[in-house]
Amino acid sequence: MFDLKKSEANSSTGTFAVKAGLAQMLKGGVIMDVVSAQHAKIAEEAGAVAVMALEAVPSDIRKNGGVARMADPKLIREIKSEVSIPLMAKCRIGHFVEAQVLESLNVDYIDESEVLTPADSEHHIDKWQFKVPFVCGCRDLGEALRRISEGAAMIRTKGEAGTGNIVEAVRHIRAVNRGIVSLKGKNKDELSESAQALRVPVSLVEKVLELGRLPVVNFAAGGIATPSDAALCMQLGCDGVFVGSGIFKSSDPEKRAQAIVDAVAHFNNPKKICEASEGLGKPMDSLDLENLRPEEKLSRRGI
């Protein structure tokens, strides 16, 4: 029979290829925020590639105010036992002990997230210290590359979570794309200047130039409420989407969840997006960002 010791002798866990690899396998998929095992089941049945466990969806976090923290481990365990797809969970920016707790719970990915109240106003978590991979939010190329140099194996745009308004996500996707394009044709000295301005190692900037994209998978997040929103992010070049409040704050979560999954799979096919969009009921209550005070913007956290 199979000898466990022998075969594990030459294997290594927690390498960057393994961490970034899971994100690669999530591409073209939808990751859904869930606050209960029942939500998680609905998400899995709709075809989500992963679920994100948290105490309250972003729109409720906004409403509730106060300090938003990592979810209760009991809730995370309940959700984990309910589904077979990967489980993600959020910790506060810079709160490496919450991250340690999540790692000990064997979650598959940790989101060091601006949606929760930051624990450290200056530092993000040193993500190289962990075997579990991290995803982090960004608003532009600099933020994305700083998080990658701290060890993030996946990036997402921040957008503006809990608003049901796609405008900030689009702004951030375009800013990342613009940052990548701006590197084209630069010589060694200019690249070194760019790296300095972005506060990241020049090797990372060179890698982006070589690939013509971020060196890790990049999802869209923050404000996706409809199948068209999701497909818009995909057509702008994102590898997949996170949907937070957009599903479980709508009038028919089962139907909307499946519709967004279909729209992401067929993001270049308007006929399919149209079919997916029909008769979904009421979307989540949305916010006009003009009325949001700067300090109410979650995306300004952790830059």
Partner 1 sequence: MMKRIGVLALQGGVDEHINALLNASEKVQAPVQVVEVRTAEDMEGLDGIILPGGESTTISKLMERANLFSPVLQVRKIMGTCAGAILLAKKVEGANLEQRFLSLMDISIDRNAYGSQKESFEAQLDTEFGRISGVFIRAPKITIMGSGHVRPLAFHGEEVVAAYQKSGERHYIALAFHPELTTTKFHEFFIRL
Does position 108 interact with partner 1 (CB under 8 A)? The reply is: yes
Q: Which of 21, 73, 215, 237 lies at the binding interface for partner 1 (CB under 8 A)? A: 21
Task: Report how many residues bind partner 1 under the rule CB under 8 A.
Answer: 48
> Is residue 1 classed exposed, middle or buried when 0-12, 13-18 and 19+ CB atoms within 10 A define those classes?
exposed
CA pair distance 276, 258, nearest whole angstrom: 8
Binding pattern for the stretch 221-260 against partner 1, x by CB under 8 A and - elsewhere: ----------------------------------------
| Alpha carbon separation from 286 to 35, 151, 186, 189, 230 (Å, rounded) | 20, 34, 42, 46, 16
CA pair distance 134, 130, nearest whole angstrom: 9
Rounded to the nearest 10°, the torsion over CA 115, 120, 124, 129 is: -110
Cβ contact 89:111 at 8 Å: yes
Stretch that binds partner 1, among 27-35, 61-69, 119-127, 177-185 (CB under 8 A): 27-35
Stretch that binds partner 1, among 101-109, 157-165, 219-227, 244-252 (CB under 8 A): 101-109
Residue 127 C-beta: closest distance to partner 1, Å: 14
Q: Which of 149, 192, 269, 277 lies at the binding interface for partner 1 (CB under 8 A)? A: 269
Does position 24 interact with partner 1 (CB under 8 A)? The reply is: yes
Residue among 45 and 120 whose Cβ is closer to partner 1: 45
Place of tokens 């067929």: 266
Catalytic residue among 19, 90, 127, 158: 90
Does position 297 interact with partner 1 (CB under 8 A)? The reply is: no
Does position 84 interact with partner 1 (CB under 8 A)? The reply is: yes
Does position 28 interact with partner 1 (CB under 8 A)? The reply is: yes
Residue 229 C-beta: closest distance to partner 1, Å: 18
Residue 260 C-beta: closest distance to partner 1, Å: 12
Binding pattern for the stretch 115-154 against partner 1, x by CB under 8 A and - elsewhere: ----------------xxx---------------------
Structure-token pair, residue 105:
């719970």
Residue among 7 and 291 whose Cβ is closer to partner 1: 7
Q: Is 90 a catalytic residue?
A: yes
CA pair distance 34, 103, nearest whole angstrom: 19
CA pair distance 58, 50, nearest whole angstrom: 17
Closest listed residue to residue 16, CA positions, set 130, 93, 102: 130
Does position 12 interact with partner 1 (CB under 8 A)? The reply is: yes
Does position 279 interact with partner 1 (CB under 8 A)? The reply is: no
| Alpha carbon separation from 29 to 52, 70, 266, 267, 271 (Å, rounded) | 13, 24, 11, 11, 19
Place of tokens 């707790």: 101
Non-local (6+) Cβ contacts of 86 within 8 A are 22, 26, 49, 50, 51, 108, 109
Does position 11 interact with partner 1 (CB under 8 A)? The reply is: yes
Q: Which of 85, 191, 280, 292 lies at the binding interface for partner 1 (CB under 8 A)? A: 85
Contacts with partner 1 by CB under 8 A lie at: 1-3, 6-15, 17-19, 21-22, 24-29, 44-45, 47-50, 84-87, 103, 106-109, 131-133, 261-262, 264-266, 269
